[in-house]
Structure 1
Amino acid sequence: MEFLENPIVTAVAACAVTAIAMLMSRNVGKKVSTRTKVSKAGQEKPNSHLCNHTKIFEEQVVKVSENVYCAVGYALANTIMIEGPKSIIIIDVAESNDAARDVMCEFRKITDKPVGGIIYTHFHADHVGGTEVFLEHAKDGKPENVPIWAHQTTGARMLQFNSIMGPIAHYRAAHQFGMYLEKPALENCGIGPRLRAGQNESVSQVVPTHVYSGKHEDIEIDGVKLRLIYAPGETDDQTVVFYENGKILFAADNFYESFPNLYAVRGVPNRDTMQWARSIDIMIETHPEIMVPSHSLPVVGGDEVNRRLVNYRDAIQFVHDQSVRHILARRHPDEISALVQLPEHLRSEEYLKEFYGTVGWSAKSVFAGYLGWFSGFEEDLWKLTPGDYADRIVKMVGSTSKVLQAAEEAYAEGDLQWALELCTYLLRHDRGDTKRAQELKIDTLCKLANTQISANGRNWYMTTVAHQAEGLEIKVSPEQRTKAVSNMPHTSMWASLQVRLKAEVVDGKKHSLCFKIKDPQSSWTLYIRNSVLHFVNKADDQADVIVDCTDESLRRLMANPASIAGSWVTGKFRFEKGSMASFAAFFSNFERGL
């Protein structure tokens, strides 16, 4: 803010920026962490099955048929190219512009035809993050002429995805996918080699231009006839694509070479397992000769494709049915998780091994989907907090040293889960010297990581090691936050504020703030009342603070609080009522981190 010449203006602006920064991310002005190898990761080899699974993600462009190609291994998800007479059609665009650029470089070795159309199979970031790169290759340099097809709900889901959960969604996704890890800590991500959506990756956010509704839609792009089929499974907007020429089924994320991720540990709404199974029935009815998943390698041969799809949907139904069977027997969800196991003839299939989804976690998800959080056991109605439980464990055993001794013995005996839990009790109890408990916990996590066939489990353990032992910071970068806010609907912006209101601070108070926005024109008033934030899409001239601003300056503020000074001085952000101090006071009622 050196450009502010008036010292009074500078002082007021600095005060306001400091207060508003309490709402925004802590990342501003800080160096963002990059990937780490984890110093302890190479001491033992990872699970041999997981290591062998890495081989299928070797970078290659697979020629599926005379005009269909699948790029595998360049990103978490595959990118598929269908070559038409005069242009190419792209199905799924990878998770970042950098990954998409690598893929396009490989496709350019096959053809120099322009991009004539794009299809999103669903809204997940690893399928929609590289669009800008492919649009650069539009015919006559006109990206506006490239149709982007998807289900009618995909665009809204892209814009709303994680807008409320924001920082915690990033934190948990970083753990599941090992986003900050390198070899040897990172072996793979279960459905791809790695997720290229870290701090240094540029990400597109381009919503569909063409949508369909109903059970299916027949489209034609450059003479290529495709059927878009609504098949909700891993997501509710899932689209599989059938290409009659060659009887090729593009399976999206409803099939990949791993037990399906019926529950993602990064945190997702309930996934309807039986709906997923029914969608695979729809896929089977297309009678494909070739299946091209959006993760892992294509499957060739009608009989083999059918066999895999039948086994896959039956494995999903098996987990659902047996979980419900144990629910009806009034068993605890943790018991159900341990009891449900696929039959041997299914779990021995390579494409049903638990590289990504796991049967145990899925069984718990089935329970929660039907019955919610409560186990049905009275001791779980009002459970002790983890800290209180830890204190009682230590008190019962007699001392922290005895708990530590028990943890050491468990570790030596290979009882790693118990060792981890005992170490965690000691750290939560937090009395005296906890250094050895922390060291033992890290050693235990490393050993547990190497037992995991689940890439998600391994990545979670290893990321925890990097975070707790090596100081890894897991945060959304300023660039990523700016990109997200620039496309976020105002309603999502305000909804993000609602869940960051510090109720204990505003208890019994009323505050109001009105934004009168131009370019484009709209008005929003935010009310704090009854310790909640309420917002309406209209101006209130009686609000405590009224701000006239451009949409651009508002979004810059929400992404980077320091921008308010420049917007204020240039007239893009001015007060019709109130002051910078009262504006800052309003935002001081919220937690940091939009």
Structure 2
Amino acid sequence: MIKLNENVYVAVGYDGSNASMVIGEQGVVIIDALRALGAAEKVAEEFRKVSNKPVQALIYTHGHLDHTGGTSAFIGNSKDVKVIAREGFKNELQEHSPIEPILKQRNARQFGRDLPAKDIINRGVAPGITSTDRAGKGYIEPNITFKDSMLVTLAGLDFELHAADGETNDELFVWIPDLETLFTGDNYYKSFPNLYAIRGSQYRDVKSWGESIRKMSTYPVEHLVPGHTRPLSGKSVVHQNLSNYSSAILSVYTQTIEAMNKGYTLQQTVDSVSLSDSLAEQPNLQEFYGSVPWGIRSIYLHYVGWFDGNPTNLYPLSSSQEAKNIIELAGGESKVFAELNRATKEGNYQWGLQLADYLLQTDYERTKVIEAKVRLLRALASQQINAPARNYYLSYAYELEKNRI
């Protein structure tokens, strides 16, 4: 429980995301409500130890389950509490998708939800193991929504709520001028941002995301409260963190667009775009959660779709036919398998993984090839600082061992 000042308390680490309490003269306002109702109940109890004033409003910064699942713990069944969000709240979530089953599977891999405890480190911007006690069971729908901005007095304090497309298209940020406190939702956290989620998601408007952060950086913020990771305090510290964050996002966007306009293919674009050394060295831009190449790919596909401009790729060979040709060119399956083992021994893990996938298109030593792929996935995982990538490698390896793929 982190006290920023006499009015603002932030609960960090009780669940995968943060929940905050703002104390006014006439009551309190809750900002975000965690994922698991059980975790939210614990936080609500801690908040009440600080202030027993009634909850007058609850604000959702966006619709992700980890910020909305525990609402009833804070407001009960009261019909008088204002529950505020943006228009279009939750519209883009996987439960509305026709491919929900595969999104759920990929979500579990990204977050390592089915990994054994010994393999769980963290989720990049949250604890690796979080509460599953009645996840999502406390959700209450908003009863007030707005389109672009909303100025409102809550509990005797003036709040500014502004639409801020970024990690989601229903994201908002909260600015309380008298307290010089900014709540960013998931548009800022201490990691390079997840411009694309490998679990699968709708396009995250990268340009708008960078512009949203740039707008936030113009406020005289003393305390910044992110949706994940610890708050920041001090005007210069906050300004520096927001400034380099927006610069990094917009740099990736601008470089990608420039490469596309040169006619680069997708992979050429990925190879040509990078953060400057001055940005890449910043502590809050390490790729613990998001990844620069993933963001580049997302931008590229958003603007031109799957075809990268190279006519070779208009009607490519099937994966099985390509594998057959590559294996034949290499001198046969035994030689490819020997190269796979050599790549593994020499630490050339990505190449080994790609060779394993060629062999899996055939019936050659299938059990041994799967075992090799499992070893390669675990080797790649051991090199990763990016939590979603690490979790995905390890989760897929366990699934292969259990013959679930």
Tell me the TM-score normalised to structure 2 length: 0.94
- The whole-number CA distance in structure 1 between the counterparts of 2:38 and 2:301 is 38
Residue 538 of structure 1 is matched in structure 2 by: none
Matched, 1:356 2:289: yes
Residue 319 of structure 2 is matched in structure 1 by: 386
Q: Which amino acid aligns with 2:78?
A: P
Q: Which moved more, 1:256-265 or 1:266-275?
A: 266-275
Aligned to 1:436, which of 359, 368, 374?
368
- The whole-number CA distance in structure 1 between the counterparts of 2:95 and 2:120 is 26
Cα displacement string for residues 38-83 of structure 1 (whole angstroms, at most 9, x for unaligned residues):
xxxxxxxxxxxxxxxxxxxxxxx11111121111112221111112
- The whole-number CA distance in structure 2 between the counterparts of 1:267 and 1:68 is 35
Residue 85 of structure 2 is matched in structure 1 by: 150
Residue 225 of structure 1 is matched in structure 2 by: 158
- The whole-number CA distance in structure 2 between the counterparts of 1:119 and 1:459 is 31
Matched, 1:82 2:35: no
**SS of 1:154's equivalent?**
coil
**SS of 1:143's equivalent?**
coil
Residue 399 of structure 2 is matched in structure 1 by: 467
- The whole-number CA distance in structure 2 between the counterparts of 1:400 and 1:199 is 49
> What is the CA distance between 1:105 and its match in structure 2?
3.4
- The whole-number CA distance in structure 2 between the counterparts of 1:252 and 1:358 is 19
- The whole-number CA distance in structure 1 between the counterparts of 2:214 and 2:136 is 37
- The whole-number CA distance in structure 2 between the counterparts of 1:200 and 1:210 is 25
Matched, 1:97 2:37: yes
Aligned identity (percent) is: 34
Aligned to 1:173, which of 104, 107, 113?
107
2:374 and 2:401 in contact (8 A); partners too? yes
Which has more radius of gyration? 1
- The whole-number CA distance in structure 1 between the counterparts of 2:211 and 2:164 is 8
RMSD: 2.0
- The whole-number CA distance in structure 2 between the counterparts of 1:157 and 1:307 is 31
Q: Which amino acid aligns with 1:459?
A: N
Q: Which amino acid aligns with 2:123?
A: C
**Distance change >3 Å, CA 209–CA 200, structure 1 → 2:** closer
Residue 590 of structure 1 is matched in structure 2 by: none
- The whole-number CA distance in structure 2 between the counterparts of 1:310 and 1:202 is 34
> What is the CA distance between 1:401 and its match in structure 2?
2.0
- The whole-number CA distance in structure 1 between the counterparts of 2:320 and 2:131 is 35
**SS of 2:49's equivalent?**
coil
1:231 and 1:240 in contact (8 A); partners too? yes
Matched, 1:314 2:247: yes
**Unaligned residue ranges in structure 1 (runs of 5+):** 1-60, 137-141, 474-594
> What is the CA distance between 1:197 and its match in structure 2?
7.4
**Distance change >3 Å, CA 200–CA 154, structure 1 → 2:** closer
Cα displacement string for residues 13-56 of structure 1 (whole angstroms, at most 9, x for unaligned residues):
xxxxxxxxxxxxxxxxxxxxxxxxxxxxxxxxxxxxxxxxxxxx
1:330 and 1:376 in contact (8 A); partners too? yes
**Distance change >3 Å, CA 200–CA 123, structure 1 → 2:** closer
Q: Which amino acid aligns with 2:82?
A: P
**Distance change >3 Å, CA 440–CA 198, structure 1 → 2:** farther
Aligned to 2:123, which of 189, 209, 219?
189
**SS of 1:228's equivalent?**
strand
Residue 561 of structure 1 is matched in structure 2 by: none
Residue 115 of structure 1 is matched in structure 2 by: 55
> What is the CA distance between 1:157 and its match in structure 2?
4.8
> What is the CA distance between 1:423 and its match in structure 2?
1.1
Matched, 1:257 2:190: yes
Matched, 1:65 2:26: no
> What is the CA distance between 1:199 and its match in structure 2?
9.2
1:129 and 1:205 in contact (8 A); partners too? yes
Residue 334 of structure 1 is matched in structure 2 by: 267
- The whole-number CA distance in structure 1 between the counterparts of 2:87 and 2:67 is 16
2:172 and 2:185 in contact (8 A); partners too? yes
**SS of 2:103's equivalent?**
helix
Matched, 1:450 2:382: yes
- The whole-number CA distance in structure 2 between the counterparts of 1:96 and 1:447 is 33
- Size of the aligned set, in residue pairs, is 405
**SS of 1:184's equivalent?**
helix
- The whole-number CA distance in structure 2 between the counterparts of 1:102 and 1:173 is 26
Tell me the TM-score normalised to structure 1 length: 0.65
**Unaligned residue ranges in structure 2 (runs of 5+):** none
- The whole-number CA distance in structure 2 between the counterparts of 1:443 and 1:466 is 11
Q: Which amino acid aligns with 1:189?
A: R
2:291 and 2:386 in contact (8 A); partners too? yes
Residue 491 of structure 1 is matched in structure 2 by: none
Greater RCO (Cα-Cα under 8 Å, separation 6 or more): 1
- The whole-number CA distance in structure 2 between the counterparts of 1:64 and 1:196 is 24
Cα displacement string for residues 432-468 of structure 1 (whole angstroms, at most 9, x for unaligned residues):
4311111111111011001111111101101111212
- The whole-number CA distance in structure 1 between the counterparts of 2:381 and 2:230 is 26
Q: Which amino acid aligns with 2:344?
A: Y
- The whole-number CA distance in structure 2 between the counterparts of 1:445 and 1:289 is 44
Q: Which amino acid aligns with 2:371?
A: E
**SS of 2:35's equivalent?**
coil
> What is the CA distance between 1:109 and its match in structure 2?
3.5
**SS of 1:187's equivalent?**
coil
